[in-house]
Amino acid sequence: MTHTNVLVFKTSVASQHAVKELAPVLNRAAGSGNWNFALDDCDRILRIKSTEVPAELAIFILNESGFDCIELED
């Protein structure tokens, strides 16, 4: 049985406009509905639920789009 991981990242994504820009690539990487941003949090948290998306891929995606992204450990 595969274990679903929840990856949590601190980001510099600050607007719904930016989330909409990132949505297509995050949907391709993690699947629609498997990620979300908490823009009201001071760390602008990105959560990704996945069995196969490595943290490095999420960081790369955001960095390539001009955003900071740091994985937060439990």
- Output the pLDDT for position 61: 97
- Output the pLDDT for position 51: 85
pLDDT tens for 28-71 read 999 999 999 999 999 999 999 988 889 999 999 999 999 999 99
pTM for the full predicted model? 0.92
Contact between residue 11 and residue 44 where contact means Cβ atoms under 8 Å apart: yes
Alpha helices in the chain (DSSP H): 16-30, 55-64
Structural domains in the chain plus CATH codes: 5-71 (3.30.70.100)
How many Å apart are CA 3 and CA 65, to the nearest integer? 29
CA angle 44, 35, 4 (to 5 degrees): 120
Count of alpha carbons within 13 angstroms of residue 19, beta-carbon side: 13
Structure tokens at 54: 């490595």
